[in-house]
């Protein structure tokens, strides 16, 4: 069995879904397809949630209506993509999609208690993937690809850490294998990003988490390979939207890939690599517009060294400088307190730098930061916050790159090893 993962960008339009179908038709063996929400639907559902939590039901429903229109346009577009997506396919698909929107609309209108933000997030936002997979599955069927739609809320059992749930491997193995074995179809269509607690409450696995879903499905099903289909040639040495001279990297080791993902390269979710490395499953990152292109192979050993420096820019960062008020050595005495507080507020730390009495942390910006700072202050620390920062990582830097990126007044923190330099700098 192979795993194919299609992200939001690859299914953002009718052409995208039709292209997915062409790629799937080109594959002969058993296929497990993981699909994200279409285009920017997750962001749009987050706005629905904000209105809902704020008590603005009418506005939440208006926004939901716009999301429904967007999906209906895609379905209408699909009618023109292939001769057959008419009769059965479109009506069955449209009905199921309509039912999902009504279900979500009903949920928004009826709920009176709106206090548990994280669990409402998962209940609402998970519809993005339920809807996209329903459309994809219906279209594939109508195009002559028999397939089975799987509800991953019944296959991935997670803990109840809402919005960043962890998959319980043992329980999920049982359920996912059972689900796949129960059906005669060779092709399965499954949602990325979602699962459910043992009690059946929907959970999500963290933004961009569909790559992780694909990797876990690969791990559990003992897949021959996992392929992530992207709107780029494969993994490049930098984000082509930010660095116009970015070049394609044909091969990477799991270690390179996990470092790259951890440093913030959006192309792969950081949690994707571990399950694949653990079972030695190769990961391909391939361009969905050129399926014959080799893309990038990520595996245990590579025969072509990377050969170019890798640049990773993580935007939207905040630099916290924490100092103990009584001047005790921060590192020795206070680490545990500081990190457990940050964990409580789910602040993600991307770089740690310490001196005798200061601890500098470069963290993802989030709406919890000010609460975390308040809690740190209550715990006896002085905290300074510098906003509008970004974290640049250069692996395999040269003198020229050092001069270009690691110097200058905009650099607040710099950490270097022989091969890698990481710089916290003011946004340019
Ligand atoms: P999807 O919707 O499939 O999850 P994303 O938009 O999240 O796709 O990720 C693909 C984007 O990741 C690319 O369009 C590219 O701009 C960006 N990206 C960032 N870093 C890299 C990199 N090192 N190599 C390739 N693409 C990268
Ligand atoms: N739809 C989710 C998101 O946008 C998950 C994913 O795309 O991987 O974050
Ligand atoms: Mg993505």
**14-25 helix and 57-81 helix, angle to the nearest 10 degrees:** 50
Q: Is 214 close to ligand 1, i.e. is its CB under 6 Å away? A: no
> Residue 302 C-alpha to ligand 3 middle, in angstroms?
26
Please answer whether residues 154 and 193 qualify as being in contact, where contact means their C-beta atoms are separated by less than 8 angstroms.
Answer: no
> Facing residues of 252 across strands?
298
Helix, strand, coil abundance in the chain, percent, nearest 5: 45, 25, 35
Please answer whether residues 218 and 272 qualify as being in contact, where contact means their C-beta atoms are separated by less than 8 angstroms.
Answer: no
Which residues lie closer than 8 Å to 118 by C-beta, 6 or more apart?
Answer: 162, 163
Q: Quick one: pLDDT at residue 356?
A: 79
Q: Quick one: pLDDT at residue 87?
A: 47
Please answer whether residues 279 and 173 qualify as being in contact, where contact means their C-beta atoms are separated by less than 8 angstroms.
Answer: no
Please answer whether residues 363 and 320 qualify as being in contact, where contact means their C-beta atoms are separated by less than 8 angstroms.
Answer: yes
Element (H, E) at 342: helix 330-344
Ligand 1 atom nearest to 208, measured from its CA: 4
Q: Quick one: pLDDT at residue 82?
A: 58
Q: State whether residue 304 is helix, strand or coil.
A: coil
Q: How far apart are CA 313 and CA 252, in angstroms?
A: 19
Please answer whether residues 350 and 362 qualify as being in contact, where contact means their C-beta atoms are separated by less than 8 angstroms.
Answer: yes
Q: Quick one: pLDDT at residue 81?
A: 67
Q: Is 89 close to ligand 2, i.e. is its CB under 6 Å away? A: no
Q: Is 270 close to ligand 2, i.e. is its CB under 6 Å away? A: no
The ligand that comes nearest to the alpha carbon of residue 207 is 2
Please answer whether residues 389 and 426 qualify as being in contact, where contact means their C-beta atoms are separated by less than 8 angstroms.
Answer: yes
Q: Is 10 close to ligand 1, i.e. is its CB under 6 Å away? A: yes
Q: Quick one: pLDDT at residue 146?
A: 95
pLDDT tens, residue by residue, 320-350: 999 987 777 655 668 888 999 999 998 999 9
Mean pLDDT by 10 residues, the chain (428 residues): 97 97 95 98 97 95 98 91 54 83 95 86 98 96 95 98 96 98 95 98 96 98 98 94 93 93 89 96 97 96 90 96 78 81 92 89 92 94 96 95 94 96 94
| Other Cβ atoms closer than 10 A to 79 | 16
Q: Quick one: pLDDT at residue 155?
A: 98
Q: Is 124 close to ligand 1, i.e. is its CB under 6 Å away? A: no
């Amino acid at each position: 069995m192979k795993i194919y993962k299609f992200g939001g960008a690859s299914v953002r339009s009718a052409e995208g879904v039709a292209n997915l179908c062409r790629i799937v038709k080109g594959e002969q063996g058993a296929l497990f397809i993981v699909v994200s929400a279409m285009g920017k639907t997750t962001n749009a559902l987050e706005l629905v949630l904000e209105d809902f939590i704020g008590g603005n039901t009418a506005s939440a429903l208006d926004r939901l209506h716009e999301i429904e229109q967007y999906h209906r346009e895609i379905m209408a577009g699909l009618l023109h993509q292939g001769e057959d997506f008419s009769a059965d396919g479109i009506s069955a698909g449209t009905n199921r999609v309509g039912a999902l929107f009504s279900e979500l609309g009903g949920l928004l209108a009826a709920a009176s208690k709106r206090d548990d933000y994280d669990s409402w997030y998962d209940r609402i936002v998970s519809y993005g993937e339920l809807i996209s997979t329903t459309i994809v599955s219906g279209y594939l069927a109508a195009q002559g690809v028999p397939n089975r739609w799987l509800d991953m809320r019944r296959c991935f059992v997670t803990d109840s850490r809402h919005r960043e749930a962890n998959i319980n491997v043992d329980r999920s193995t049982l359920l996912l294998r059972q689900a796949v074995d129960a059906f005669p179809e060779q092709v399965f269509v499954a949602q990325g990003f979602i699962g459910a607690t043992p009690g059946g409450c929907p959970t999500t696995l963290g933004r961009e988490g569909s790559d992780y879903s694909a990797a876990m499905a690969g791990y559990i099903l003992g897949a021959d390979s996992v392929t992530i289909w992207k709107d780029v040639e494969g993994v490049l040495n930098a984000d082509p939207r930010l660095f116009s001279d970015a070049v394609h990297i044909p091969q990477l080791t799991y270690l390179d890939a996990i470092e790259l993902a951890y440093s913030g390269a959006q192309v792969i979710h950081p949690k994707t690599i571990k399950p694949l490395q653990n079972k030695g499953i190769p990961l391909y990152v391939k361009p969905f517009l050129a399926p014959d292109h080799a893309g990038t192979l990520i595996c245990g050993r590579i025969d072509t060294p990377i050969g170019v420096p890798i640049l990773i820019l993580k935007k939207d960062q905040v630099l916290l400088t924490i100092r103990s008020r009584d001047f005790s050595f921060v590192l020795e005495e206070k680490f545990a307190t500081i990190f457990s507080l940050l964990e409580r507020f789910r602040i993600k730390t991307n770089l740690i730098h310490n001196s005798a009495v200061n601890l500098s942390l470069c963290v993802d910006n989030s709406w919890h930061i000010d609460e975390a700072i308040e809690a740190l202050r209550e715990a006896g620390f002085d905290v300074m916050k510098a906003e509008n920062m970004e974290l640049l990582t250069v692996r395999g830097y040269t003198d020229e790159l050092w001069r270009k990126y690691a110097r200058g007044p905009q650099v607040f923190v710099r950490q270097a090893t022989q091969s890698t330099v990481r710089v916290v700098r003011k946004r340019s």
